[in-house]
Structure 1
Amino acid sequence: MNFAGGRAMNARALARSYRHTAALHSPAMRASVTAGAALAGWHYGRGRGGGWWRHGNGGYGWVGPLFWPFAYFDMYDYALWGPRVGAPFWYYGYDDIYAGLFGPYDYQGLSGYLPPRDAAGGPDRLALLCGEDEIAGLPIDLIAQTIEPTEVQRTALDDLANASVTAAQKIKAACPTSIALTASGRLASMQQRIEAMIAGVATVQPPLEKFYGLLNDEQKARLNAVAEDQERKSERRRNRSLARPCDVAESSSQRWPTEEIEARLHPTDAQRAKLAALQDASSKSADMLATSCKPEEAVTPTARLAAIGKRLDVMLQAVKQVRTALDEFYVTLSDEQKAQFEAIGPRRTSVADKQDNRRYGRR
């Protein structure tokens, strides 16, 4: 990947997106912005075929050193509007753990996501994707307009609004301020991000349950009607050829590079045993995440937020499981073997980039 000339992130384009904040409430727009950021360092600004770590909806779980851009948007879209609008939340899973193990970016690529050293007060490019408090909170005005709350309900809604902003701040605070160059470092960053999201759910859940419990049947029906309207809009924008979340087995799209690891590391028998344990932990994590991918089951905002919490708990368990096995394998490697292991993902990215260039007649 080539980030020469400061092209690692198109900060101006991202800043323009934030000036039109309503656009970021569209899952399709967020996927487009994320894709542009994730692929900005490819030779022509964007590989038409997409990076190998792309999600089924065209978005990306990893943008440079950042895991889960626009996390709070994805959470509240599913909680409020349901599985059609909130589908992006459910694209996150085992493939992101795999991309954490075999990171797609090399050092040159990752360094392009940090603030420029020669630009005092320059834009924090990662922060643009981590979400801003004032636009990441729940759409309180829309909810109030829809249900026409009583005074008691308005107080509960204000409490929910405050909790929403606090949750967004917690998630934004988990945005990385440095780059991780090892698989263990990437999984640690991933774990920190998920833990912040779990904390965000815990912050919002009590006031949401209190507020929703105060609504009468007519008000709940109005919220459902708005959710259905959001769903219709999402369906019109959706590319129906995209894979739906959970349609593809979590472990099928990313094949474990056993032969390449063998050729690059020439592991000893003891190292092979640790590697086998890592593969086993990875496979179990894929099964856990596939089993817990159930976006269609919850039908109320409170139940969907609880489902978000359960899914994040499983993701956290999966990341910890793989990270523990990875650390036990990694400690047995020499410095040369570690360097060879870390080169697997960037090499795959580079090969895909070259294939994409040949496909479209570029040099």
Structure 2
Amino acid sequence: MNFAGGGRALNARALARSYRHTAALHRPAMRTSVTAGAALAGWQYGRSRGGGWWRHGNGGYGWVGPLFWPFAYFDIYDYALWGPRVGAPFWYYGYDDIYAGLFGPYDYQGLAGYLPPRGASGAGQDRLALLCGEDSREIAGLPIDLIAQAIEPTEVQRAALDDLANASVISAQKIKAACPATVALTASGRLASMQQRIEAMIAGVATVQPALDKLYGLLNDEQKARLNAVAEEQERKIERRRNRSIARPCDVTQSSSLQWPAEEIEARVHPTDAQRTGLTALQKASAKAADLLATSCRIDEVATPPARLTAVGKRLGVMLDSVKLVRTALDDFYAMLSDEQKAQFEAIGPRRTSVTDRADMMQRYGRR
């Protein structure tokens, strides 16, 4: 994953190779690796030790250039079907991603690398498509064959399983359709894109939920036990592949780099007294969003696939409310700013990246 040429166009061949081996993308660790490579490809400090400041606790990234939540569909069904260990990546999404939406880590040149080159056609038209999601049954659909093998469905259950398969593809199509068509260069635009993506995910969950409820309701206890056994085997595979400790999903503790940058805003924007009122409201909205998302984390409290999918829908609903809350306060604050002040506010993310990178270099090589 790299940038090539003066235009720093994103090289999608590594992603294309991943999709030729579709089974690999069903592994959370592989998706995390692909996402990290794509996220740092457009970041000017991508070689910095530890990666970017907006990285999740499992090493993945909620933002890849202009795209929020790559491989969203996989994360949803991994948690719903296989439980909290396999589906942990879903729960790493939260307030930190709203923060990264406010203070985007990419400058214009980095974001431009994610756009298709002018005149591109075919596969070259959308370099984000692979990360946005795939709606073909072979890649995006639920692992219907694996479920069928586990439960050995009756004729009635087979019909319900077919309905679930169709619903899963429709759900994936809805999520893929929310892929950004343009690059948002402002915090308001990023939060709008984030909101659109979450709304599509909520619609996708609502599409699958009735079909999953129906199928699960038709299973007898022995079939449910066999399906749980498949989930336990998926967990064992995850545990065998883990070779390092990672932060627990929904951790409310944040690194110092993600604290509210009050001093930086003051130094760059120089808000007036009236503008400071709007800024205070934005900070309070951001803090409230963090609290809402922290208290809505219930990763270990549900035991069946339908209940876990319901939990996914509820979590996404809280995320949507949180994004709307912050976006409203941000738009009110922005309306008070001059064009120069807006430009200075937008520069905070890349500037914080630069400061973090310089501090890292100081630690590695010492003060000269």
TM-score under structure 2 length normalisation: 0.94
C-alpha deviation, 1:78, in angstroms: 0.1
CA contact (8 A) 1:40 1:46 kept: no
Residue 52 of structure 1 corresponds to 53
For residues 233 and 257 of structure 2, the distance between their equivalents in structure 1, rounded to whole angstroms, comes to 33
Q: Is the 8 A contact 1:278 1:329 kept in 2?
A: yes
Instruction: Name the counterpart of 1:270.
Output: 274
Q: Which residue does 1:102 correspond to in 2?
A: 103
Which residue in 2 is equivalent to 1:68? 69
CA distance in structure 2 between the aligned counterparts of 1:118 and 1:357, rounded to whole angstroms: 40
Aligned match for 1:200, one of 171, 188, 204: 204
Correspondence for 1:127 among 114, 126, 129? 129
Output one character per residue of 1:331-358: Cα deviation in whole Å (capped at 9) or x when no partner. Answer: 0000000000000001122333455566
Find out whether 1:227 has 2:231 as its counterpart. yes
1:141-152 counterparts in 2 under 5 A? Answer: 141-152=145-156
Once residues 66 and 249 of structure 2 are traced to their aligned partners in structure 1, the CA distance between those partners, rounded to angstroms, is 24
Matched, 1:154 2:155: no
Q: Is the 8 A contact 1:250 1:290 kept in 2?
A: no
- Give the match for residue 169 of structure 1: 173
CA distance in structure 2 between the partners assigned to 1:238 and 1:190 by the alignment = 30
Give 2:221's aligned amino acid: D
Alignment partners' CA distance in 1, 2:201 and 2:97: 16
Deviation at 1:180, TM superposition (A): 0.5
Pairing partner for 1:212 from 202, 210, 216: 216
Contact 2:4 2:11 in 1 (8 A): no
Residues 255, 104 of structure 1: alpha-carbon distance in 2 compared, 3 angstrom cutoff: same
Partners of 1:213 and 1:325 in 2: CA distance? 44
Q: Please state how far the C-alpha of 1:306 moved relative to its aligned partner.
A: 0.2
Change (3 A) 1:320 1:251: farther
Aligned counterpart, 2:353: 349
* Native 8 Å contact 1:187 1:323 kept in 2: yes
Contact 2:268 2:345 (C-alpha < 8 Å) held by counterparts: yes
Q: Does 1:331 align with 2:335?
A: yes
- Checking the alignment, whether the CA contact within 8 Å between 2:67 and 2:180 is kept in structure 1 is yes
Distance in 1 of aligned mates of 2:355 and 2:254:
23
Distance 1:44 1:50 in 2: 8
Q: What's the counterpart of residue 40 of structure 2?
A: 39
Which sits farther off after the overlay, 237-246 or 216-225? 237-246
1:145/1:5 CA distance change after superposition, 3 Å: farther
Match of 1:21? 22
Q: Percent identity?
A: 82
By how many angstroms is 1:181 displaced? 0.6
Indicate if the aligned counterparts of 1:36 and 1:46 stay in contact, CA closer than 8 A: no
The yes-or-no answer on 1:179 pairing with 2:183 is yes
Q: CA deviation at 1:110?
A: 0.6
How many aligned positions are there? 361
Structure 1 window deviating more from structure 2 (39-48 vs 291-300): it is 39-48
CA contact (8 A) 1:104 1:346 kept: yes
Q: Which amino acid aligns with 1:331?
A: A
5+ residue gaps, structure 2, are none
**Could you tell me the TM-score, scaled by structure 1's length?**
0.95
Residues 1:38 and 1:32: Cα distance change in structure 2 (over 3 Å): same
Q: Which moved more, 1:243-252 or 1:324-333?
A: 243-252
The aligned residue for residue 81 of structure 2 is 80
- Give the partner amino acid of 1:241: S
